A = this chain, B = another copy of it.
Amino acid sequence: MTKCTTIALLSGGIDSATAAAIAKKNGDKVIGLSFNYGQRHLRELKAACDIAAYLRLSEHQIININLAAWGGSSLTDSQYSLPTQGVIEGVIPNTYVPGRNTVFIAIGLSLAEARGASQLVLGINAMDYSGYPDCRPDYLDAYQSLANLSSKSSREGHGIKLLAPLLHWEKVHIVQEALKLGIPIEKTWSCYNGQEKACGICDSCRIRDAALKKAGRGDLCSDKQT
């Protein structure tokens, strides 16, 4: 049986690692894709490489695309402070990077087409990042409609499929699935800061810690500071 080839966008965090592991478990040939996009630190790229190696992906591409050239986010412009106040319903935090997912998925579609992959798997999650415009289900639906038309193969009716298996999952559910799939959580990186140890206080550490706690895990970012 010919295996399906799937591109997995890997950020180095738990969500994208879980999405990639789900594709692997399905028996897909998985190619990883990560981005050096001018983010505050490259610690997360090291994590992405570790996860790609752990999952024995057939290939792992790391692409430079300098979105820091125009900034507009605390993740690409150090003039902004990183948020630590927790997620506020209806407010888009300054960690939102203009157009980031749109750019990343577009590059993923390019790689998919060049490699003959029929799927792109994303760790996008609408629950914790409900404020981000590019994590919403209707955004993904619209991207799917575009992907249905954008490639050479789309002319023969074969668009590239966008998969977001975690879209509606609670974070604790993602952690539980990651553990079930054997993902080495300690190799993933969520912290917005790029120090040797996770800061434990940024919103990303808080969301991660809350989920790990609920899942009964002890290795919290906040513990590392004590």
Binds B, one of A13-21, A44-52, A138-146: A138-146
Contact B66 A70 (CB under 8 A): no
A113 close to B99 (CB less than 8 A): yes
Contact of A150 among B63, B64, B69, B99 (CB under 8 A): B99
In the assembled complex, A152 has its CB within 8 A of some CB on chain B = yes
Q: Does A98 contact B (CB under 8 A)?
A: yes
How many copies make up the complex? 2
> Which among B64, B69, B92, B136 is the interface contact of A149 at CB below 8 angstroms?
B136
Task: Give every chain B residue within 8 A of A134 (Cβ-Cβ).
Answer: 150
How long is the Cα–Cα vector from A103 to B109 in the complex, in angstroms? Answer: 9
Pick the residue among B103, B105, B150 that contacts A110 (CB under 8 A). Answer: B103
Interface residue? A115 (CB, 8 A): yes
Q: Are B106 and A133 in contact, with the CB atoms below 8 A?
A: no
> Do the beta carbons of A113 and B149 come within 8 Å of each other?
no
Q: Is the CB of B149 within 8 A of A139?
A: yes
CA distance A181 to B96 in the complex (A): 39
Tell me, in angstroms, the Cα distance from A71 to B110 when the chains sit together. Answer: 9
Cross-chain contact A152 with B65 (CB below 8 angstroms): no
Q: Is the CB of A152 within 8 A of B98?
A: yes
Is the beta-carbon distance between B133 and A151 smaller than 8 angstroms? Answer: yes
Q: In the complex, which of the residues A63, A107, A154 has the most CB atoms of chain B within 10 Å of its own CB atom?
A: A107
Chain A to chain B contacts (Cβ below 8 Å), 29 pairs: A61-B70, A63-B65, A63-B66, A64-B64, A64-B66, A65-B65, A70-B111, A96-B152, A97-B110, A99-B111, A99-B113, A99-B150, A99-B151, A102-B109, A102-B146, A102-B150, A103-B109, A103-B110, A106-B106, A133-B149, A133-B151, A133-B154, A136-B149, A139-B150, A142-B145, A142-B146, A142-B148, A145-B146, A146-B146
Q: A65-B65, A98-B109, A103-B107 are in contact. List 6 more A-B contacts (CB 8 A).
A: A64-B65, A64-B66, A92-B155, A96-B152, A98-B110, A102-B150
3 A-B pairs with least C-beta separation: A99-B110, A72-B114, A98-B113
